[in-house]
Amino acid sequence: MLISEIVAEENDFVALRRQLHSRPELGYEEHETSDLVARLLGDWGYTVHRGLGGTGVVGTLTAGTGTRRIGIRADMDALPILEETGLAYASAVPGKMHACGHDGHTVMLLAAARHLARSRSFDGTIHLIFQPAEEGLAGARRMMDEGLFRLFPCDAVFAVHNWPNRPVGDFLFRPGVLMSAADNVTITIEGKGGHGAHPEMAVDPIVAGASTVMALQTIVSRNIDPQEPAVITVGAFQSGQASNVIPGAATLRLSVRSFAEAVHDQLQDRITAVARLQAESYGCTATVDYRRIYPALVNTPEETAFAHALAVELVGADRARIVARSTPGSEDFAFMLQEKPGCYFLLGAGDGPMLHHARFDFNDAILTRGASFWVHLAERYLAKAA
């Protein structure tokens, strides 16, 4: 499965990955990263387009006379997390780090890009999509809104994510829903401030907020079909600054996950109703800002079967599996899959801290595996007709 030419250059790509790791950039700020990606692609003979999504880069390469077109996407952005790995190549930018492995995703695709440019053992067109702002800022949606698939038509699109705590090099696929929709909700509860010694003269938004937190937990357990997964997490409760002052307002911030569209709608309706009615029962008012950030990620059956069959051929059925369960994580590649057929899959990265952890680091042992698979996938998808 491993391509010998890619393995021979492994040290170079590990060094490049660690360079990116030390210089993390947040969504829509990936200027250094996109400069590097564009320069390398240009050096290797790709036609390079810049500017979609602000810092996005698309490299295009055509060989032969085939008319099929494949898109392969890698995300480039980092997270606003203070790194705690202590690595020699740890983030040099305080408060920012590659805690999700996008540095590795970028370099895996670059390693594949270099080999594909040298070998040109395919018949058709490859569009390599280096996307900004996956982490909650919908860079995929912005690239599409600015003409991604109009400028670079694709018959199918593919992407991968490293997946900690699964055996190194295992390929995990799932046709249909693989990842959940993600919503962000802000509930603002307005009361009446006052002296902590005279609560009868105030309307306490903290009490209303506390009751709302508890009531929200009943939605999944009492309103949603128990066979339909859903998550409501109150991640922030902000109100007041002093023990003897009743504040005038409280703010709750929620993360909401779901897989089925009907459940998605039901959650929005119930969260909005619970927040408003709980607040009213304590004499307060509540406003709900409900934002649907990412839709559920839905892989198309044919493209998933194609990628899975190729992985089975390359690494064996015991290392390339169809998983039974979806994950409540979310991913903005879902937008691309709403418009194009394709497959998003997971690549086992071995034991270690989970994604978004301050001690996470991408496992360089999967760089050559991921890059080699991209080459095989592109060549097989764009194979010359018999």
Question: What gap in Å lies between CA 95 and CA 80, rounded to an integer?
Answer: 6
- Determine which one of 25, 30, 75, 77 is catalytic: 77
CA neighbours within 13 Å on the CB side: how many for 293?
Answer: 24
Catalytic residue among 134, 170, 204, 303: 134
Burial class from Cβ neighbours inside 10 Å (0-12, 13-18, 19+) for residue 347 reads buried
The yes-or-no answer on residue 77 being catalytic is: yes
Residues ≥6 apart with Cβ < 8 Å to 205: 189, 190, 191, 239, 247, 248, 249, 250, 279, 284
With residue 41 as reference, give the H or E element that holds it. helix 31-43
pLDDT of residue 384: 79
Q: For residues 330 and 297, what is the distance between their CA atoms, to the nearest angstrom?
A: 7
- pLDDT in the model for residue 1: 86
pLDDT given for residue 65 in this prediction: 96
Q: Which helix (H) or strand (E) holds 177?
A: strand 176-179
Q: Which residues contact 214 (CB under 8 A, 6 or more apart)?
A: none
- 134 a catalytic residue: yes
3-state secondary structure of 236: strand
231 contacts 217 by C-beta, under 8 angstroms: no
Per-residue pLDDT reduced to its tens digit, 163-207 = 999 999 999 999 999 999 999 999 999 999 999 999 999 999 999
Which tens digit of pLDDT belongs to each residue from 290-342? 999 999 999 999 999 999 999 999 999 999 999 999 999 999 999 999 999 99
CA angle 11-17-22, nearest 5°? 125
> Is the separation of the CB atoms in 343 and 178 below 8 Å?
no
CA dist 209 → 188, 205, 217, 298, 344 (Å): 9, 6, 13, 35, 39
Q: Which residue has the tokens 């499965």?
A: 1
Q: For residues 355 and 203, give the distance between their C-alpha atoms in angstroms, rounded to a whole number.
A: 41
Q: Which residues of the chain have pLDDT under 50?
A: 386
